[in-house]
Structure 1
Amino acid sequence: MGIEADPQVLQQVTTTLRNAESDLDTGAAPPPVPQAGDITELLAATLSLLCEGVGNVAASAGGLGQAVAEGRADYETIDYDQALNLKRTQTGG
């Protein structure tokens, strides 16, 4: 019994995560300071905190995308090597 992964699905996951990073990163820029009277500072601080959180999520999505891409490459290398080993074993060489 073994583990099997579809490299195309892994590539789709990588692409989705990298696109999410890009999309979220675009939205992570703080908006202009709101004009909200007495609560302007509170709203500005809240928006800043939210934007920082979105930036952190973007960075995490990018990191996950990179990890999936590396895992895919490792999987393909190992899978190929094992297929060669199996072929050598079957042919006696």
Structure 2
Amino acid sequence: EGELVGDWFSFPLDEEVIAERIGLNAEYEEYAIHDTDNFPMEISEYTSIEELNRIYEQLEELPDYLLDDLDSFISCYGSLEELVEHKDD
């Protein structure tokens, strides 16, 4: 209805906390991600909270040198999942 409400969140994300802080409920159930300060890869503004937490868990498994140039490594391996699988290679 024309009103934007936003807030910053830290991982892991808690759906109940997000809903409370930005006013999600049965009537207002949509959200979009408009800023990802310090997140090491591109994500869609419509990525689900579950998917964000899954991505975060995978990123936690990677050493810093991979995170520093994450997009290049993902490009090389084809996906974040493949990169995580071969992180020790």
Relative to its length, the structure with more helix (as a share) is: 1
Q: Same fold (TM over 0.5)?
A: no
* Structure 2 length-normalised TM: 0.30
Higher relative contact order (CA 8 A, sep 6+): 1
TM-score by length of 1: 0.29
